[in-house]
Amino acid sequence: MRNLLILAPILLGACAATPAPPPPAGGGECRDNNLAQFVGQPRSDALARQIQAQSGAAIFRWLPEGTMVTMEFNANRVNAHLDSANRVSRVVCG
């Protein structure tokens, strides 16, 4: 029992939540710089790079129609929502 009491703080420390990683160096915060211009375009790697460059976001994410996503807001992320034809229906920061 005594050994368990000695190990308890060590074991509990292993369960502690790790802090969120810091934002990328040099910013990377998403800005809505006329992102609506991409609506209607078909999904492609080149388009993803264009959207990310236009927004300045550090993180890019495709969201196909019907995809379940978490509700947390990330200022460094840009989301490109797709319709059933795999075309961009909207682009938003978050």
Domains of the chain: 28-93 (3.30.10.10)
pLDDT of residue 7: 57
pLDDT of residue 36: 97
What one-letter code names the amino acid at 25?
A: A
Q: How many CB atoms lie within 10 A of CB 14?
A: 6
pLDDT of residue 70: 86
Entry pTM: 0.70
Contact (CB, 8 A) for 12 and 32: no
Q: How many CB atoms lie within 10 A of CB 43?
A: 15
Matching residue, tokens 């200022």? 75
